[in-house]
């Protein structure tokens, strides 16, 4: 089942155009939505989660009209926002049981079986009696995934899930999302390139409300293959190179800036051709002089 988004637009009262005629087809599986903070990702996620109205456009999940049949959408939706509230003194088991009841699982035995299975799935069974307020960031995110799976959803939306997680928790979260994404549409909205590289076979890049790229990570890498050049410079040279070349990115390695520059030929002496990364793709597309959108 595909999620087909057509001409979706949203402008806020202050004049900010959060979404500008976005069209995108999202298939079953893990789909990465990349963009910097303020790109329009969260607005798109909230519209698809029926929490916000669009100004124009449509979104269809199979034959289900996402924008005009919100009650039906909520029955097949799992949503993990960037921050979600819980009752601080309630245990993980009690909270999941309560959410399952709200989602229509009214039979006690069925609900008990569901809650226990979900806690096992997200590796929180041994912590089921603990108050959620005392959970680590990663445990809270795993609990969030558990609550999003109630009701056998067909669409799961996960907004900035790994921000603030340590590497161990992040890997556990990756594994869990990968397992979930085998049979449903899972949209992973993030500004962390590694999240998409690790998890997603399809992706899109959005910036300033516009869709800049849609396809597979491999397609994105092929677009700039053979055109990325690398050089290690001194910190005092950084401003000079920034003015003279189209820098994709710079990062410190052993205390020295390593810059990546986009070009058909070596930009200057000392530059070496290097294999592109998804981070190079990301910064190439959101750079100010490459904002022509490519629609799916």
Rounded Cα distance, 182 and 198, in Å: 15
Which residues lie below 8 Å from residue 203, measured CB to CB, with a gap of 6+?
Answer: 31, 32, 33, 34, 196, 213, 214, 215, 216, 217, 220
Question: What's the Cα-to-Cα distance from 192 to each of 40, 153, 220, 272, 283, rounded to whole Å?
Answer: 15, 25, 16, 26, 12
Return the pLDDT at 142.
87
* Predicted confidence (pLDDT) per residue in 158-197, tens digit: 987 777 778 887 788 788 888 888 889 999 988 888 888 8
Burial class (CB in 10 A: 0-12, 13-18, 19+), 85: exposed
Return the pLDDT at 295.
34
Q: How confident is the model at residue 136 (pLDDT cuts 50, 70, 90)?
A: confident
The topology under which CATH files domain 3-214 is Rossmann fold (3.40.50)
Q: How confident is the model at residue 270 (pLDDT cuts 50, 70, 90)?
A: very high
The stretch 224-253 carries a mean pLDDT of: 91
Return the pLDDT at 296.
35
DSSP state of 26: E
Reduce the secondary structure of 216-263 to three states and give it as a string.
CHHHHHHHHCCCEEEEECCHHHHHHHHHHCCEEEEEEECCEEEEEEEC
| DSSP result, 178-201 | HHHTTTSEEEEEES-HHHHHHH-S
Helix (H) or strand (E) holding 18: strand 17-26
Return the pLDDT at 86.
64
Note whether 57 and 7 are within 8 A (CB): yes
Rounded Cα distance, 92 and 84, in Å: 14
Note whether 162 and 170 are within 8 A (CB): yes
Task: Using a pLDDT cut of 90, give the percent of the chain over it.
Answer: 60
């Amino acid at each position: 089942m595909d999620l087909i988004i057509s001409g979706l637009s949203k402008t806020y009262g202050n004049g900010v155009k959060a979404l500008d005629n976005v069209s995108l087809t999202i298939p079953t599986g893990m789909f990465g939505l990349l963009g910097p903070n303020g790109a329009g990702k969260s607005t798109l996620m909230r519209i698809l989660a029926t929490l916000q109205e669009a100004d124009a456009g449509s979104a269809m999940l199979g034959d289900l009209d996402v924008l005009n049949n919100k009650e039906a959408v909520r029955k097949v939706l799992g949503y993990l926002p960037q921050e979600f509230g819980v009752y601080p003194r309630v245990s993980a088991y009690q909270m999941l049981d309560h959410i399952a009841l709200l989602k229509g699982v009214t039979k006690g035995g069925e609900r008990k079986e569901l809650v226990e299975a979900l806690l096992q799935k997200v590796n929180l069974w041994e912590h089921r009696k603990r108050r959620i307020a005392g959970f680590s960031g990663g445990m809270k995110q795993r609990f969030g995934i558990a609550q999003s799976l109630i009701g056998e959803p067909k669409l799961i939306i996960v907004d900035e899930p790994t921000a603030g997680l340590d590497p161990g928790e992040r890997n556990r979260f990756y594994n869990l999302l990968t397992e979930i994404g085998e049979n449903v549409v899972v949209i992973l909205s993030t500004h962390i390139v590694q999240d998409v590289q690790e998890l997603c076979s399809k992706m899109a890049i959005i910036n300033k409300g516009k869709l800049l790229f849609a396809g597979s990570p491999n397609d994105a890498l092929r677009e700039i293959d053979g055109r990325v050049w690398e050089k290690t410079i001194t910190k005092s040279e950084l401003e000079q190179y920034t003015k003279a070349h189209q820098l994709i990115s710079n990062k410190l390695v052993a205390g020295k800036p390593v810059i990546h520059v986009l070009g058909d030929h070596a930009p200057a002496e000392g530059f070496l051709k290097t294999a592109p990364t998804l981070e190079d793709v990301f910064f190439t597309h959101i750079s100010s002089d490459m904002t022509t959108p490519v629609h799916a």
